[in-house]
Structure 1
Amino acid sequence: MEATAAQHQPYTPSEAGFWRVTIALMLASLSIFSTLYVFQPLLPVFTSELDITATQSSLLMSACVTAMVFGLFILGFAADRYGRALVMRGSLLFTALSLVLIPIMPEFEWMVTLRFIQGFFLAGIPAAAMGYLGEEVSYRHIGLAMTLYISSNALGGMGGRVVGGYLTDLFNWQMTLWSFSAFGVLAAFLFLWLFPKERFFEKAEQNLVVDLKGMLIHLKSGPLLVLFLLGILMQIVFTAVWTYLPFYLEGDPFDWPLKWIAFTYFAYLFGVLAPPAAGRISDQAGLKRVMFSGVVIFLIGTALTAVKEGWSIMVGLSLLCMGFFVAHSMASALVSKTATHHRSGASGFYLISYYLGVAIGSTAVGTLWEKFQWYGVLSVGFLLIVLFILYPFYKDA
C-alpha cells in the first residue's frame, strides 16, 4: 500500500527516480546542446575552406535555430498532447543520426538545409523537459532539478565549442562532427535505459482546436510575457558575443589560433556551476530577484570584453556566462511555476523567444560586425535596458 502511494507522489531527491530523471535529462541536454553549438567555433574554418563570408557561415547556426523555433512550438504542443517521453526519445535519435550526414553533403547549401531539418528535432528535449519536470518532480525540489538541467545545457554548449574547436585544430571539421554523432548515439541509448515512464501525464482528449487555444492563452499572461522577452533579449546579446568572438580573437591585436580560441569557452564552467548555487539562494531571496541579479552580472561581463586585453576578455566571458545561465535557470523555473496548465507549451513559448534570440544574434548581428567590428556586436547589449524598465511591472505568480 505504501509502495503504491509512493508511486503517485512526485519525485524527491531522496528517491532513485529523481536522479534517474535528472541524469537522463542531463545526458540528453549534453547531446542536444553540444550538437547545436559545435558549429560556432568552426565558422572561421567554414569561411576559409568553403570560400564564404562570415555572415554566410553563420547560417549553419541561424538556420538550425530558426527551425528550433518551429520545433519548440510543434513539439511542445505534441508533448503536452501525446507524451513528453516519446518526443524526447525521437529527438535524441534523429539528432545523433543527422549529424553523421552533414560532413558528406556536396554543397554548403545542402549543409544548411540539413542543419535546418536537424534544428526542428533538436527542439524535442528543451520543448518537453521543463514540462516533464514540472509534473513529475516535487514542487519544493523543482528548482534543484531545473538548475541541474540548465547547468548541463551550459556544459553541453561548452563541450561542443571547446572540444569541437580543439578536435578541428588537431584533425578536421568532418572528424569532429562524426565524433559528436557517436557521443549522441551513446547518450540516446543511455537515455532510453534510464528515463522512467511518465506517471502524471494524461493524454489530451479534448478537441485539437480547444487544446491549441489553451496553449495560446499563455500569450495573455503579463508575467510570462516578461519572461519570454527576457529570453529573446538576453540570447541576442549572448549569441552575438559567442558567434563573432572567434573572428574577433583571430584578428588584430590578438591573432589567436583556433585551439586557443576554443579554450575561451571554458568560461562556460561558470555557467555550469552558478545555477545550482543560485537555486539555493533563490529559496531565500526569491526567483525574480536572483534572475535580475543575473542580468546585471551578464551586462558587466559583456562590457569587460570591450577592453582589448586577454585577461579582461576572459573575466568578462566568465561573468557573462555566470549571469546568463543564472538568469536563464531562474526564468525557466518561473515559467514552470507560473503556468498552471499546458506546461510544455509555456516552456515552449519561453524557448521559442530564447532561440529567436539565437537566430537574431548569430546572423542578423553579422551586419554590425562587418561594419563596426566588436563594438558593433556589443552595442546590442543596450537592448537589455528594456528589462529593467519593465521590472517594476513584473510580479511572481
Structure 2
Amino acid sequence: MTELTPTYRSHAQTRLIWALCIASVVVYINLYTVQGMLPSIAEHFDVSGAQATLVLSVTSFTLAFSLLFYAVLSDRIGRLAPIVVSLWLLAASNVLLIFAQTFDELVWVRLLQGALLAAVPAISMAYFKEQLAPSFMLKAAAVYIMANSMGGITGRIFGGLMAQNLSWQTSMGLVFLVTLMGVALVTYLLPRKEIKPAVIKQKVSLLCKIKQDFDGFIFHFSDPQMRLAYIVGGLAFMMMVNQFSFIQLHIMAEPYGLSRFNATLIFLCYSSGTFASYLSAKWILRYGSLPLFRVALCLMLCGTLLTLVDTLVAIVISFLITACGFFLTHSCCNSFVAMRATSHRAKATSLYLCCYYLGASLGGPYLMLFWHKAEWNGVVVGSMSLLALLLVAIWRLGIHQQSTEALISED
C-alpha cells in the first residue's frame, strides 16, 4: 500500500470529497435536465409527450446496467481513471446533442450518455471507503448524497428555465459549457495519488477473471442483509421519483392550472432531502440505520397520504416530507452497503445502484396504470402498495440484524 504523510492524506481526503460531490452534481444535472424540458423536446422534435419521456427512461436504463461494468473495471484498473475518462467523454457527448436533427438521434445519444453517467455513482462509495479514514467515511457519504439531491434539483429547474427561454441548440450548448467547467474542476481536485488495497498478484486467465467478477456479484447478492438493502433502495426510488413526475401532471391540470415551468418548481421540495442527507451521518452514528429506515418509511407514508388533502399548500408540504424520508432512506442504504462490504466494494455499491435505477425505470409504467385509472388518487393507491412492500423489507432486515447480534453475543 502506498505510504502517504498524515498532512498530505488529510488534504487529499478533503479534495476527494469535494471532487466526487461536484462530479455527482455534474452527473445529475446531465441526467435530469431533460426532465424539465420534455414539453420542449416533444415540440422541437415533433413527437408526442409520451415519446419524449424516452430520453429520460433510456438513459436511466443504460445507466443501471453500466454500473455493473464500471464496478468490474474499477476493481481491475483503479477508481481514478474510469471517473476522469467518463466525465470528459460525457462533456464531449453534449456536443452531439447540439447537432441532433431527429428524435432517433437524440435517443441514441442519451443511450450513450447513460453509459457514461454511470461511472461516478458506481465508483464513488468504494473510492471513499478505500481512500478515507473511518472518521471521514459517514460524513463523506452524507455530503455525497446531499450533492446528488442538489444535482437533481438544479438539473430539473435548469431544464425548465432553458425550455421556457432558449432554443434547443442554445440550451444544449449551455449544458455543454456547464458540464465542461464542472469536469475541469473535478479533474483538478481529484488527488493524483490513489491508495490501492494490497492484492496478491497472480497470473490468471481471462475466463478466471470473469469468474472472479461474477463471484463478487454473487457474494454480495447472496448476503440477505445486502439483498434487503438493495430492495429497500429500489422500492423507495421506484415510488418517490415517479411521484414527482405524476404530480406535475396533476398540478398543471385544473383547478391549479400551473404553467410548465411553475410545475417544475415542485422539485424544490428535494431541498428537504438535501438537508436530511447532510444530517444523516450524525443520525446513523447515534441511532443506527434500522431505526432511521423506520422513521423514513413513516415520513414517506405521511407525505403520500397528505397529498389527498389536494390543496397546493398540502401538496408542497407533503412532497417536502416525502423527499426527506426518501433521501434519509437512500443515505442509510448507501452507508449500510459501503460499510458492510469488506471486499468487491465497487460491485456492492453498483448492485445497489442498479436496483435503485431499475426501480425508477419500472416505477413509471407501474404507477402509470394507476394514473390512467384514477389519476393522482390512483397514484397514491399504487404508492401505498410499494410502501407496504417496503415495510416488509425493513421488517425482514430487522430480523436478520437481530439474529446477527444474537450470534455475536453468544460468541
TM-score, length of structure 1 as denominator length: 0.92
Greater Rg by CA: 2
* Residue equivalent to 2:396: 393
Which one is further off, 198-207 or 114-123?
198-207
Q: Cα distance, 1:54 vs. partner?
A: 3.4
Aligned-residue offset at 1:159: 0.1
After superposition, the C-alpha distances for 1:288-312 in whole angstroms (9 at most, x for unaligned) are 2213322221222222233321111
In 2, are the aligned partners of 1:152 and 1:272 still within 8 Å (CA)?
yes
1:211 aligned residue: 212
Provide Cα deviations, 1:203-255, integer angstroms capped at 9, x if missing partner.
77553134211232111000000011012111111121122333222221211
Aligned to 1:379: 381
For 2:167 and 2:256, locate their aligned partners in 1 and report how far apart those are by CA, in whole Å: 23
Shift of 1:139: 2.0
| In 1, Cα distance between equivalents of 2:95 and 2:154 | 18
* CA displacement 1:28-53 (0-9 Å, x = unmatched): 00100111111112223333444433
8 Å Cα contact 1:237-1:378 kept in structure 2: no
Q: Distance in 2 between matches of 1:350 and 1:234?
A: 12
Aligned pairs for 1:187-198 within 5 A:
187-196=182-191, 197-198=193-194
Partner of 1:172: 167
What SS does the corresponding residue of 1:358 show, helix, strand or coil? helix
* Counterpart contact for 1:163–1:262, Cα < 8 Å: no
Partner Cα distance (1:232, 1:187) in 2: 29
1:128 has 2:131 as partner = no
**Aligned sequence identity (%):** 25
- CA-CA distance at 1:125 after TM superposition: 0.3
CA contact (8 A) 2:236 2:390 kept: no
What amino acid is aligned across from residue 6 of structure 1 in structure 2? P
Query: 1:243 corresponds to which residue?
Result: 245
2: distance between equivalents of 1:251 and 1:93? Answer: 41
For 2:253 and 2:287, locate their aligned partners in 1 and report how far apart those are by CA, in whole Å.
43
CA distance in 2, matches of 1:299, 1:151: 22
Alignment of 1:66-215 (within 5 A): 66-196=61-191, 197-201=193-197, 207-212=208-213, 213-215=215-217
Q: TM-score, normalised by structure 2?
A: 0.89
- Return the letter of the residue paired with 2:228: V
User: How far, CA to CA, are the matches of 1:295 and 1:58 in structure 2?
Assistant: 29
Q: For 2:18, give the aligned amino acid.
A: I
> 1:44 corresponds to which residue?
39
The one of 330, 333, 336 equivalent to 2:335 is 333
The amino acid that maps onto 1:221 is: D
Distance 1:308 1:104, change over 3 A: farther
Q: Which amino acid aligns with 1:198?
A: E
Q: Which residue of 2 aligns with 1:347?
A: 349
Could you tell me how far 1:198 is from its partner in structure 2? Answer: 1.4
SS in 2 for 1:354: helix
- Give the C-alpha shift of residue 278 in structure 1: 2.1
Are the counterparts in 2 of residues 35 and 180 from structure 1 also a CA contact under 8 Å?
A: yes
| Structure 1 vs Structure 2 CA RMSD | 2.1
C-alpha spacing 1:255/1:103, structure 2 compared with 1 (3 Å): farther
Residue number in structure 2 paired with 1:358: 360
**Paired residues of 2:248 and 2:266 also in contact (CA < 8 A):** no
The residue number in structure 1 matching 2:265 is 263
CA distance in 2, matches of 1:371, 1:177: 37
What is the SS of the residue equivalent to 2:390?
A: helix
2:309 match: secondary structure: coil
> Which of the numbers 56, 62, 66 marks the counterpart of 2:57?
62
* Structure 2: gaps spanning 5 or more residues: 405-411
> Contact between 2:36 and 2:158, CA under 8 Å: does it hold in 1?
no
Deviation at 1:118, TM superposition (A): 0.7
1:367 is displaced (CA, Å) by 4.1
Range that drifts further, 106-115 or 226-235: 106-115
Moved more, 383-392 or 183-192: 383-392
Q: Decide whether the 8 Å contact of 1:233 with 1:357 is kept in 2.
A: yes
Task: Choose from 11, 18, 21 the match for 2:16.
Answer: 21
Distance 2:254 2:46 in 1: 21
Give the equivalent residue in structure 2 for 1:287. 289
Structure 1 range deviating more: 332-341 or 297-306:
297-306
Structure 2 counterpart SS, 1:140: helix
Deviation, 1:98, is: 1.4
Question: After alignment, is 343-352 or 378-387 more displaced?
Answer: 378-387
- The count of corresponding residues between Structure 1 and Structure 2 is 390
| Residue aligning to 2:274 | 272
Q: Deviations over 1:41-91 (max 9, x none)?
A: 222333344443333221111100110112101111111121111111122
C-alpha distance in 2, partners of 1:62/1:49? 19
Cα distance, 1:163 vs structure 2: 1.7
Deviations 1:331-373 (A, max 9, x none): 1000011111000000000000000012112355434434432
One-letter amino acid of the structure 2 residue matched with residue 280 of structure 1 = K
